[in-house]
């Protein structure tokens, strides 16, 4: 989402997903969005966007089990530290809710190598 307002291709893809009601977030993605804010107005925009347009996917014990499974899978393919903690958590929530992660981050590509059923769509600006 950090390129949403600066890259037309990203904005179009996100808008298309929003129209069909396919956008989701979690506590981790909400905080990542807030962290990317450049100023108070940006923070307000992102908080409103995530709170009003995105469907919220909660975490539970099955998400923690997925975190453990993802990290173990990464070690098995020789990429134990190949994905940041936040990205592993996002992937774990997506797996729990049978969701697809839309991203521009190679960590999710690495996670999909370790967990083949993990679905992701990389949108490159």
CA dist 73 and 110 (Å) reads: 10
pLDDT digits (tens, 9 = 90+) for 73-100: 999 999 999 999 999 999 999 999 999 9
| Domains of the chain, first to last | 8-122 (3.40.50.1010)
Burial classification of residue 85, based on how many CB atoms lie within 10 Å of its CB (0-12 exposed, 13-18 middle, 19 or more buried): exposed
Share of the chain above pLDDT 70, in %: 94
What are the contacts of 25-32 at 24+ separation with CB within 8 A? 25/50, 25/54, 25/55, 25/56, 25/57, 26/56, 26/57, 26/58, 26/59, 26/89, 26/90, 26/93, 27/59, 28/86, 28/89, 28/90, 28/93, 29/54, 29/90, 32/86
Q: What is the pLDDT of residue 14?
A: 75
pLDDT band (50, 70, 90) for residue 3:
low
Place of tokens 């600006």: 125
Share of the chain above pLDDT 90, in %: 51
CA dist 47 and 63 (Å) reads: 23
pLDDT digits (tens, 9 = 90+) for 27-66: 898 888 889 888 999 899 888 888 888 888 999 999 999 9
Are 87 and 107 within 8 A, CB to CB?
Answer: yes
pLDDT band (50, 70, 90) for residue 71:
very high
């Amino acid at each position: 989402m950090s390129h949403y307002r600066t890259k037309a291709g990203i904005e179009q893809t996100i808008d298309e997903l929003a129209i069909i009601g396919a956008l989701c977030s979690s506590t981790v993605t909400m905080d990542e969005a807030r962290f990317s804010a450049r100023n108070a107005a940006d923070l307000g925009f992102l908080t409103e966007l995530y709170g009003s347009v995105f469907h919220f996917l909660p975490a539970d014990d099955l998400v923690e089990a997925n975190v453990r499974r993802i990290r173990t899978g990464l070690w098995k393919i020789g990429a134990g530290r190949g994905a940041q903690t936040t990205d592993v958590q996002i992937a774990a929530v997506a797996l729990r809710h049978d969701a697809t992660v839309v991203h521009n981050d190679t960590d999710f590509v690495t996670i999909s190598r370790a967990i083949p059923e993990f679905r992701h769509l990389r949108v490159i600006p």
